[in-house]
Amino acid sequence: MPGLILLKNGRVIDPVNGIDQIQDVLIVDGKISAVVQPGTLPEQVGLVYDLAGKWVVPGLIDMHVHLREPGQEYKETIATGTRAAAAGGFTAVASMPNTKPINDNQTVTVFILAKAAEAGFARVYPVGAISSGSNGEQLAEFGELRQAGAVAVTDDGLPVGNSQLMRRALEYAGNHDLLVISHAEEMTLSHGGAMNDGALATRLGLRGIPHVAEEIMVYRDLALAEFTGRPIHIAHVSTRESLSLLRRAKEKGVAVTAETAPHYFTLTEKAVDGYNTLAKMNPPLRTEADVAAIREALRDGTLDAIATDHAPHGELDKDMEFDLAANGIIGLETAVPLTLRLVRENQLDARRMVELLSVNPARILGVPGGTLSVGAPADITVIDPEKKFVFTEESIQSKSKNSPFLGWELQGKAVLTILAGRITWGQDTFSS
Amino acid sequence: MTSEYRFTHKHVLGLADFSVEDIQAVLQTAESFKEISSRSIKKVPTLRGKTIINFFFEPSTRTRLSFEVAAKRMSADTFNISNSGSSTVKGETLIDTARNLAAMNPDCIILRHPRSGSARLLAEHIDASVINAGDGTHEHPSQGLLDLMTVREAKGGIAGLKIAIIGDIAHSRVAHSNIIGFSKMGAFVTVSGPATLIPPGIEELGARVSRSVMEAVDGADVIMALRIQKERQQDPLFPSLREYAKFFGVSQNVADAASPEAVIMHPGPINRGVELDPKLADGSRSVILEQVTNGVAVRMALLYLIMGGD
């Protein structure tokens, strides 16, 4: 029977419904039809997967990716980027507006959605620009962006340097129910820096980006969120003191959420040594103390989400002098194994992992998903937490291969990704 | 140095890669080569048939000429490329340009480049030896070695000496190579200057930091003044050259706080009256021109050690 899939014997982790036990999940016509004790469903005609030893979780949502299309299709297209998302276990991604042209108007938003629908690998939630051209001067047309399908606004890649503009963005976003996402960076302090400020930068002769460059802007944006009474989301948090500021704001009841990326809880600035441009990113990789603080904040709820900041770049952008190389790494296909490292080290439990990668991103963006409730669209990720593999260029589905994790032996990956009842990844590799 | 020691480096990218024995080998070789430059026929056949390309992306008089003189005195064939004359101004990348040069089979490329790590990048992409003649704010190893040679000549040794380096430590590749080199050889290095020009973690390279220039030079055997790069003035690092000279310039008063036998050094080119009093630059304690003379000998030694062994 078409449109019918039975996922048998998997460990269903569905925090919203308080489920963490072995269950069978039945999918009918793209929707979740039943989540029940194994063996209680009558034999079905259709696809049947025995998922003993696997995790069945709500489809993962990456709230921070760069899909590069339109404009930089040599790095990534919406099709290749969403294919990488499916391969990494994601059923939805939020795409940042720094395309060429910038997604600061409804036409670009409509284009992105059309391309995403054509590719069919994942839901794409376009994020519009805060300022027209992301040049920090005039507000972009939030109303039309929202009508066309944008879910949030940011000038990501660049901070909003002008505090008055950020205040107005927060205020005006309220008219259109758009989330404002902050790329927190005080540019006069980061000032052309190429890596974390400190002894290693001094030894390598590279200009440093001090952690206060992030923290000053985190503080400003938290203050503006409190002042305007509007929610704000802080992107790619990388420093210990940013987390202290977030913790304090949350205690005061400021409507703030925040994300970090797997590289910030996995790597330190040492990855840059030898002028490794695959470890060059903004914000830069920080220190052991920052990594420890980020892990703690993922546990205690100071951080709400793990987002990859998937930033594809080609050799043209990376194979050069360190100062000149582009910032960013791909992340969609390593997020699950890198987060599972924290689970294996007992720094996170599986439920918290699902909250960080699915439940909370859906809630923060105000989009469907994040649950396995009966009747919900069947966006489901199946994770094999034990599967070991070496991360190689050949395995990467993204068009770009810029990852500092190349050659790493990783454990745990998405083996089956289901989008609205359709298998987007794992059909071949995972036998039913 | 043990009898089994051999200098095995193919490239000279920074003194951070050199062992104490490597540095001693370069200095000994340089000392033996120095005499060649005082002969009436200043040429030996050691590197005959070797091709050396001077690839300079930044203006340089002293270093570029020094390498060229060194190579020619060893009978190597030398070629010079500067940024304005190279295809990088037409948009070619450093790696592509280097690969094209490498296709002409040079034995050694000497690179001066404004980006830190560029010499290493070159070495990773071509077969020829690479000598770093200054990469960004990272290292300038041949300058560090010639400074070590000059101090060893003047003082009879390096271990135990007190070296004061004054000025722009943050942007000076010369300071970085000197801190690494002198501390490896057992000297005590103190740096001082405006706090805005002292980079974080410089202690990890081997330097002590002093807030006061007078304290830094107290009892010093060597005072090295560094060039203030006027083009960095757009970043608010210090108020004015006038104030800099008054509080951080190496004056007679500063020199008097050092050991009476202290030598005065400067990697050049000097902003006279800013970081260094002209009377000191030209005075009896100055070894600034010795540095230049020794630069040729050190570069002859480096070229010989990386290419002459086969």
Question: What does the pLDDT look like over B246-282, one tens digit per residue?
Answer: 999 999 999 999 999 999 999 999 999 999 999 999 9
B155-166 tens-digit pLDDT? 999 999 999 999
Residue B241, pLDDT > 70, answer yes
Residue B94 DSSP SS3: helix
B142: amino acid identity, one letter: S
With residue B270 as reference, give the H or E element that holds it: none
Neighbours of A323 (CB within 10 A): 21
User: Worst-scoring range by mean pLDDT, A384-393, A412-421, B48-57, B301-310?
Assistant: B301-310
CA-CA-CA-CA torsion for B169, B171, B175, B177, nearest 10 degrees?
Answer: 140
Test A201 with B199 for CB contact under 8 angstroms: yes
Q: Check: CB of residue B224 under 8 Å from CB of residue B191.
A: no
- Which residue among B93, B95, B201 sits closest to A199, beta carbon to beta carbon? B201
The highest-level CATH class for domain A4-56+376-388+403-429 is mainly beta
- Which residue among B117, B199, B203 sits closest to A321, beta carbon to beta carbon? B117
- Give the pair of three-digit tokens for residue A151: 């879910």
Q: Check: CB of residue A214 under 8 Å from CB of residue B214.
A: no
- Predicted confidence at residue B87, as pLDDT, reads 65
Residue B123, pLDDT > 70, answer yes
pLDDT confidence band for B149 (50 / 70 / 90): very high
- Predicted confidence at residue A429, as pLDDT, reads 61
Residue B230, pLDDT > 80, answer no
Interface test with B, best of A202, A269, A277, A319 (most B CBs within 10 A): A202
> Active site includes A309?
yes
Test A205 with B138 for CB contact under 8 angstroms: yes
Which listed residue (A14, A24, A304, A309) is catalytic? A309
Min distance A199 CA to chain B CA atoms (Å): 4
Test B138 with A208 for CB contact under 8 angstroms: no
- Predicted confidence at residue B5, as pLDDT, reads 92
- Alpha-carbon distance A194 to A326, whole Å? 10
Q: What mean pLDDT value characterizes chain B?
A: 94
Test A199 with B93 for CB contact under 8 angstroms: no
Using DSSP bridges, classify how beta strands A195-196 and A152-153 pair: parallel, antiparallel or unpaired.
unpaired
Q: Calculate the alpha carbon distances from B11 to B4, B21, B179, B295 in Å.
A: 21, 16, 20, 18
- Predicted confidence at residue A132, as pLDDT, reads 97
Please give the CATH superfamily to which domain A59-365 belongs: Metal-dependent hydrolases (3.20.20.140)
Nearest to A282 by CA among A255, A313, A305, A249: A313
Q: Residue A91 CA to chain centroid, in angstroms?
A: 11
Residue in the block written with tokens 């994942």: A122
Q: Check: CB of residue B131 under 8 Å from CB of residue B11.
A: yes
- Which residue among A199, A205, A274 sits closest to B200, beta carbon to beta carbon? A199
Taking contacts as CB-CB distances below 8 angstroms, the residues of chain A near B201 are 198-203
A345: amino acid identity, one letter: E
User: Worst-scoring range by mean pLDDT, B96-110, B128-142, B195-209, B220-234?
Assistant: B220-234
Test A202 with B205 for CB contact under 8 angstroms: yes
Write down the domain spans for chain A.
4-56+376-388+403-429, 59-365
- Alpha-carbon distance A76 to B102, whole Å? 33
Test B201 with A191 for CB contact under 8 angstroms: no
CA-CA-CA-CA torsion for A334, A408, A209, B121, nearest 10 degrees?
Answer: -130
Q: Calculate the alpha carbon distances from A423 to A27, A90, A373, A381 in Å.
A: 11, 12, 19, 10
Give the residue numbers in B contacting A (CB under 8 Å), as ranges. 16, 93-95, 113, 115-118, 120-121, 135-139, 170, 173, 176, 199-205, 235
Min distance A198 CA to chain B CA atoms (Å): 5
Taking contacts as CB-CB distances below 8 angstroms, the residues of chain B near A324 are 115
Positions in chain A whose pLDDT score sits under 50: 1, 432
- Predicted confidence at residue A296, as pLDDT, reads 98
Q: Calculate the alpha carbon distances from B153 to A53, B67, B291, B300 in Å.
A: 73, 21, 10, 17
Min distance A288 CA to chain B CA atoms (Å): 16
A4-56+376-388+403-429 matches A59-365 in fold: no
Residue B85, pLDDT > 80, answer no
- Predicted confidence at residue B92, as pLDDT, reads 83
Residue in the block written with tokens 């005590």: B188
Test B136 with A205 for CB contact under 8 angstroms: yes
ipTM of the complex: 0.92
Min distance A316 CA to chain B CA atoms (Å): 9
Test A274 with B120 for CB contact under 8 angstroms: yes
- Predicted confidence at residue B81, as pLDDT, reads 87
Min distance A271 CA to chain B CA atoms (Å): 15
Specify the DSSP class assigned to residue B45. S
Specify the DSSP class assigned to residue B138. T
